[in-house]
Every structure is written in C-alpha cells, then in structure tokens.
Structure 1
Amino acid sequence: MDLTVTAVLMFIIALIVSAVIIYIITKIFGETEDIKTAFITAIVGTVIYTLIYYLIGQGLIAAFIAGIVWLIALQKLYTIGWVKSLIIAVVIWIVTSIVGWFLPHLTGPL
C-alpha cells in the first residue's frame, strides 16, 4: 500500500478512536452532546495542535499554548466551565495514553 494512503488511513482511524474516547469521557461527565460533537472536538484539537506546532515549533511552550486553546474550544463546543473542561481534558489525555499502549501503531490527533 502506498505510504500516503497508509498515513491517511492511520490518521482517520486515530481520529475515530479519539472521537470515541472524547464521546465516552464527556458522557461520563454528564454532557449530552452527540458523537458528532466529539468528532468535531477531535478535529478541532488536531487543527489547533498542528497549527501551534507549525507556528511555534515542538516543545513545552507550544504544547501549553495549544492545550489552553484546546480547553477554550472544549468549553465552547460543550458549553462548560474552565474547571470541568480541564478535568475532562486530563481524563481524555490519560485514557488516550492508555489506549495508545494497546494501539501503539496508531498516531493521531490526541
């Protein structure tokens, strides 16, 4: 299979996995939005991190800025406060890290 096709397929699979994780975590925290919102959240997160890393480069400062911007996006998409968005983001990060151990060949938005 062509390398580009493989990369696109891996990205799509990772995006779907991320959206499902976001959906489950937000449901656990009592949010009522559907899977489409979770998918949009995963896409927005990918765009935010990609743009920030492109503009600033890799590193802790870029990750911190991208994380803050993603928290704002999470707040707006789910109409929640800072604390809840931070807690949800941390839980999403933990769960995606655990899932990453089981699916180590997938790379993607989270």
Structure 2
Amino acid sequence: MAELITTVIMFIIALVISAVIIYVVTRVMGETEDIKTALIAALAGTIIYAVVYFLIGQGLIAAIIGGIVWLIALRYLYKIGWIKSLIIAIIIWILSAIVGWFLPTLMGPV
C-alpha cells in the first residue's frame, strides 16, 4: 500500500512539474492559455506515451509515434501549427530532461 501511495504522489509531482514547464514554454512562445491547458497537455502526453508504449513497446518507433500523437494534441489544445508545436515540444523535452536531473520525478516521457 505504501508503494502505491508513493507512486501516486510521484505521479502527481511529475505531472505538476511537466505542466509548469509546458505552461512556461507556451507562454514564452506567445500562447495565452492558462495552467489548466498545460496540465491537460501534460496529462495527455503521459497517457499518449503510456498507451503507445503498452501497444508497441519501448524503443525509437514508439517514441516517434508517441511524439507525433503528442504534437497533434498540442496543436489541438493550443490551436497552433505544426512547426510551432514542434518547436514547443522540443523545448519542453529539453527542459524536462534538465529538470529531471535535479528533481525526483518518475522515469519516462513528459
């Protein structure tokens, strides 16, 4: 039971950290949506990658497919084009990796 509670807490922390990163990056890139949209984007990314990894397994192909689907989600949530969603996603991935070195978060994508 303690492991489940720890996992849930770590998931929530990772989700909040991801949402803050998404919020900051999208604001810097000129988007005006609020933190709720960033939280939805973080949750969508987590679900997308979990489903893709479950169906395909881990690896480069799964990461590419998950990334493309997450770009579609970003485009839909922020009403932006492909190029802007790709730039935002790359910045988010880089910042998430950097933050992951310093803060204890769950292993895996966004």
User: What TM-score do the two structures reach when normalised by structure 1?
Assistant: 0.96
| Stretches (4+) displaced over 2 A | none
2:90 and 2:49 map into 1 onto residues whose CA distance is 16
Residue type matched to 2:63 in 1? A
Q: Gaps spanning 5+ residues in structure 1: where? A: none
Displacement after TM superposition at 1:7 (Å)? 0.5
Q: Which amino acid aligns with 2:105?
A: L
Q: Determine if the alignment matches structure 1 residue 64 to structure 2 residue 64.
A: yes
Shift of 1:99: 0.4
Match of 1:30 in 2: 30
| Residues 1:6 and 2:6 aligned together | yes
Alignment root-mean-square deviation, CA: 1.1
* Secondary structure at 2:26 match in 1: helix
**Equivalent in the alignment of 1:39:** 39
Unpaired segments ≥5 residues, structure 2: none
Counterpart position of 1:92: 92
Q: Separation in 1 of the partners of 2:105 and 2:34?
A: 24
Identity %: 65
- State the match for 1:107 in structure 2: 106
Q: Deviations over 1:45-89 (max 9, x none)?
A: 011000000000111000000000000000000000000000000
Relative contact order higher in (CA < 8 Å, ≥ 6 apart): 1
- Whole-angstrom distance in 2 between the partners of 1:66 and 1:96: 16
**CA displacement at 1:106 relative to structure 2:** 1.2
TM-score by length of 2: 0.96
